[in-house]
Amino acid sequence: MKLQGFHITRNHKFLLMSHPRSFKRTMTTRARARELGIIPGILSPGPLNAITDVHDVRVGHFTLIEGDDIRTGVTAVLPHGGNLFQEKTPAGLAVGNGFGKMMGSTQLQELGEIETPIILTNTLAVPRAADAILDWTLAQSGNEGVRSINPVVGETNDGVLNNIRRRALTPEMIYQAIAATATGPVSEGSVGAGTGTIAFGWKGGIGTSSRILPANLGGFTVGVLVQSNFGGVLQILGVPVGQKSGRYYLKDKLEPDNTSTSFSNRADGSIMMLVATDAPLSDRNLTRLAWRAMAGLARTGASMSNGSGDYAIAFSTAETVRRTKERRESLCTIAELPNNLMSPLFQAVIEATEEAIYNSLCMATAMTGYQGCHVEALPLDLVMSFMREYQPWRSIASLKAEGR
């Protein structure tokens, strides 16, 4: 739907069901990493390979592209479709490098729970996102007596492609992102909070992935959604794509005569990583789960620099651990997964985070924005040519893609 120069994007995805070897690559064709045969890890994804594979998790985007200088947006995530304030979800937070403006973090850490939608947006839109969350929460039936709310808002700075000082996003637009949340496939790339982001010198964006544990490991689902806007030395399944493409952190110092643009040399920026699971976990073990997202981030070559905000929030959607009014006000017994059964979930988070970041790059499209700045999309044909140089990748990934 288009409204006065901007549009709301509901969840959808574009599938290119092609084998990696027959994929007709052009600079404008985009595909998810798995569709190219880039398959991180050993665990299987869910049917959507998205955070919404976790039951009842909802995602919505609001994308704002206006004139020649506004390139920004909002992504909203609801842990479940009920009253989030009355049925709070246990949650944990991990901070890899804290150069960020993440609202609600201290209460999240103190109480170990989320009571609102989670909003991802740009740095200077955080207060307006909080306004939208307050309006949304106060308007819900059952919240008539609510006087204190802890809005959870994460951000990255999209000020290279977006004229961030204009503060073009309004609380009403952010409210519409919440209203647009839905289960099902999730839009990726240059949408929502990923509209104006840059990662590894290429166009970044929204990415998502999931993993399902086999029944003998509990059968639980883990889903991850990322807003990528950070730098480093990109590697994909260990292949040094950043170095081989000539876009990587510190190139301007190591190769003083290079002509690459400044944003491809830097590692500052941020990433927000949201981890959802249906495993019944305490906030303590959800904090441990959130920390494993950092391992997935590291696999992609992130530098986690001084000027980067690297945040992960993990939450459980299991109804048995939700903090209902009754459970908050009386002694109760809650069955939760013990420490000894956590390791497979750790593996699932690492793999899903890595793939979500790849998806954010593979699905993002080139963009021209503020002051004529142009950021190219990661060229998939070039990436595939690098990957083919590495025979171990080619043999293993090709066999996986063929279902062998």
Q: So which residues are the catalytic ones? A: 270, 308, 310
CA atoms of 222 and 220, how far apart (whole Å):
7
Structural contact between residues 228 and 205, judged by C-beta atoms closer than 8 angstroms: yes
**CB of 235 closer than 8 Å to CB of 301:** yes
Rounded to 5°, angle at Cα 230 from 235 and 284: 95
What HEC string does the chain produce?
Answer: CEECCEEEECCCCCCCCCCCCCCCCCCCCCCCHHHHCCCCCCCECCCCCCHHHCCCCEEEEEEEEECCCEEEEEEEEECCCCCCCCCEEEEEEEEEEECCCCECHHHHHHHCEECCCEEEEEHHHHHHHHHHHHHHHHHCCCCCCCCCCCCEEEEECCCCCCCHHHCCCCHHHHHHHHHCCECCCCCCECCHHHCCCEECCEECCEEEEEEECCHHHCCCEEEEEEEEECCECCCECCECHHHHHCCCCCHHHHCCCCCCCHHHHCCCEEEEEEEEECCCCCHHHHHHHHHHHHHHHHHCCECCCCCEEEEEEEEECCHHHCECHHHHHCCCCCCCCCHHHCHHHHHHHHHHHHHHHHHHHHHCCCEECHHHCEECCCCHHHHHHHHHCCHHHHHHHHHHHCCC
Q: Are 172 and 136 in contact (CB under 8 A)?
A: no
**Sign of the torsion angle spanned by Cα atoms 237, 387, 355, 109:** positive
Query: Would you say 302 and 360 are in contact if contact means Cβ atoms under 8 Å apart?
Result: no
C-beta atoms surrounding 122 within 10 Å = 28
